[in-house]
Structure 1
Amino acid sequence: MRPNKRDELVRKALEVFYRDGFHATGMDKLVVETGVSKTSMYKHFRTKEELILAALRLRDENFRNWFLRRIEELSNTPAGQLIAGFDALGEWFREDKFRGCMFIKAGAEYQDKDHPIHVQAAEHKRLLLEHFTRLARAAGARDPERLGCQILLLKEGAIVTAVLLNSCEPAQDAKAAAQVLLDAALAG
């Protein structure tokens, strides 16, 4: 099925926001980058923030679909999937267009916890935490909520490190730390 104009606009805007940031990207720049007129853009979105929210929803859907499918491909056990997530991250980090996490960026650019963009970014992280906690519970962790939080923390730290440092192997280092945490959570 051919994407409609609105979907195409959101997809193109997502690429621009991911590459250049939210505040640095004005509507004039989006008009040039997307090839959509200002009139048409405002026909679909009353404000830039509405367009950002639509782009974040698309990114959430795309990323979580890819990430969850990829960890299931890498391992068929809940414990293995908790660890395989770091292999999937390593694949993402090696992509030419990798620029970090769009949701970390959104949370940093829109820091008011009640702002809809901040709320959307936090929801993405909450859904990932929920998934990690579910996997930890299915793996038999003594405290699945804590292990889920620890895995999410390692994932987020690996992403930031991958963006900022060239001297580390963040996905593999986080994977090794996650294995220690998982082993401790399953012991006894």
Structure 2
Amino acid sequence: MGIRTAATPPERSAGRGPVRERILEEGSRLFYADGVRAVSADKVIAAAGVSKVTFYRHFPTKDDLAVAYLEAIADEERALLERLRTDHAGDPASTLAALAEALGSVAGSAQFRGCAFVNAGAEYADAAHPVRRVVADHRARYAGFFADVARDAGADDPQAVAAELMMLRDGAMVCGDVDDARTVAPRLASAFAAVLVAHRGTPADA
């Protein structure tokens, strides 16, 4: 189980031709490694081996490619979160422990450079920018997942718990990038569990 990082090419899906996929794969790799703003459309065009006409036919602007890059990761992370809740239904602590393990696995990969959404969000100050909107939507869904898990655990304030769990998740991604990635999973699992205990209220089914 794991979360695909942007350094891993996105899966091909119906309705997307191989040329578009090649552009998206190369753009994803470059954006994640070097940053969205640092990578020009020309650099992606050269890496994908396509003409400018072909590039702009599939992605009218570089921003469109950046949005597609983030949306591909968001889709896979959303699927993982849904699977975790299904696989660990009725056991919120195990759900979070499994998420910590998945995040630790990602952080331990050689290509890991932190959270693609945190990285991209830091590059764009305008909250109305398409990239920032994708980042905000993804984080809102992630927070919703945490709130649901907190509610399952009978937390006294699920939204507050979700905010704390999100901060832990973000911090773990930073630590995985700049510190020893091997510590991410166990420490994150311990911190997740501590937050649930600290906010334990009346069980939802009581």
Is TM more than 0.5 here?
yes
Match status 1:147 vs 2:161: yes
Q: TM-score, normalised by structure 2?
A: 0.81
Q: How does 1:3-22 map to 2 (within 5 A)?
A: 3-4=16-17, 5-22=19-36
Q: Provide the C-alpha distance between the structure 2 equivalents of 1:121 and 1:84, rounded to a whole number of angstroms.
A: 23
- Measured after TM superposition, the shift of residue 145 of structure 1 is 1.0
8 Å CA contact 2:156, 2:199 repeated in 1: yes
Q: What secondary structure is seen at the aligned counterpart in 2 of 1:169?
A: helix
Gaps of 5+ in 1: none
Cα 1:79/1:167, change in 2 over 3 Å: closer
- Measured after TM superposition, the shift of residue 176 of structure 1 is 1.2
Q: Provide the C-alpha distance between the structure 2 equivalents of 1:164 and 1:71, rounded to a whole number of angstroms.
A: 29
User: Hey, what does 2:69 align to over in structure 1?
Assistant: 55
User: Hey, what does 1:173 align to over in structure 2?
Assistant: 187
Q: Which has the higher mean CA deviation after the structures are superposed, 139-148 or 61-70?
A: 61-70
User: Hey, what does 1:106 align to over in structure 2?
Assistant: 120
8 Å CA contact 2:23, 2:44 repeated in 1: no
Q: Provide the C-alpha distance between the structure 2 equivalents of 1:90 and 1:166, rounded to a whole number of angstroms.
A: 10
Q: TM-score, normalised by structure 1?
A: 0.88
Match status 1:162 vs 2:176: yes
Q: Which has the higher contact order (CA 8 A, sep 6+)?
A: 2
Q: Provide the C-alpha distance between the structure 2 equivalents of 1:178 and 1:57, rounded to a whole number of angstroms.
A: 26
Which amino acid counterpart does residue 39 of structure 1 have in structure 2?
V
- Measured after TM superposition, the shift of residue 43 of structure 1 is 0.9
User: Hey, what does 1:33 align to over in structure 2?
Assistant: 47
8 Å CA contact 1:67, 1:88 repeated in 2: no
8 Å CA contact 1:18, 1:102 repeated in 2: yes
- Would you say how many aligned residue pairs link Structure 1 and Structure 2? 187
- Measured after TM superposition, the shift of residue 137 of structure 1 is 0.8
Cα 1:67/1:11, change in 2 over 3 Å: farther
User: Hey, what does 2:108 align to over in structure 1?
Assistant: 94
Cα 1:97/1:63, change in 2 over 3 Å: farther
Q: Provide the C-alpha distance between the structure 1 equivalents of 2:82 and 2:168, rounded to a whole number of angstroms.
A: 17
1:64-106 CA-to-partner distances (Å, cap 9, x unmatched) read: 3235435655x44223212321111111111222221110111
State the superposition RMSD in angstroms.
2.1
- Measured after TM superposition, the shift of residue 34 of structure 1 is 1.5
Instruction: Report which of the two has the higher share of helix.
Output: 1
Q: Provide the C-alpha distance between the structure 2 equivalents of 1:32 and 1:63, rounded to a whole number of angstroms.
A: 29
Q: What secondary structure is seen at the aligned counterpart in 2 of 1:69?
A: helix
8 Å CA contact 1:86, 1:172 repeated in 2: yes
% same residue: 32
8 Å CA contact 1:14, 1:59 repeated in 2: no
Gaps of 5+ in 2: 1-13
Which amino acid counterpart does residue 123 of structure 1 have in structure 2?
D
User: Hey, what does 1:121 align to over in structure 2?
Assistant: 135
